Amino acid sequence: MLILCSSSNTRAELLRKAKIKFIQKSCNFDEEQIKSKEPYEFVTLASLGKFKECMKCFKNEDIVTADTIVTDGEKILRKAKNKEEAKQILLAQSGKKIKIITSMWVRFKGQVFGRVDETIYEFREFEKKDLENYLNSNEWVGKAGACMVEGFCKKYIKNVKGYESTAMGLCIEELLKIIGEEYAY
């Protein structure tokens, strides 16, 4: 069975919707140790670090790890630590173009695959009342850039280039190219 090495409910839901049999387990990796400020390098190092830890934990199983970041083109918009930080991060995206970058590592039948995918969104200005409701809902907790393209941000999408699954944390379309029907149910 495929092991999703992530505690993300969103990634698990993506696998379920794709009808992929999996179990969800995590290994510890502290991404705070990564010093890079460059978005592609940071997300690749984070997902690779998780992958290396999980390869130690799960010696022969097929595994997938991923990490996702949001960037406004200038800086990485990480997971918000509190509501005020989430508000500032979301305001940095309102009416602007952002990139959501996901790096994925897969060990499948002994072979290792690594990918970096991006989805670019252009948002309309967020309405103040909607933003406050979203912040009060706490749905932003644990989300890269406090961004939820399948939820709050959806109605503000002006343009999109790329897969929604990439923006949600795991590019299912590319994962399926690697594992095929092996874990389909």
Question: Which amino acids are annotated catalytic?
Answer: 67
The encoded tokens of residue 54 equal: 């999980």
The encoded tokens of residue 179 equal: 């594992």
Report the helix count and the strand count for the chain, using DSSP H and E: 6, 7
Please work out, in degrees rounded to the nearest 5, the angle formed at the alpha carbon of residue 95 by the alpha carbons of 91 and 97: 100
Cβ proximity of 106 and 177 under 8 Å = no
Cβ proximity of 133 and 155 under 8 Å = no
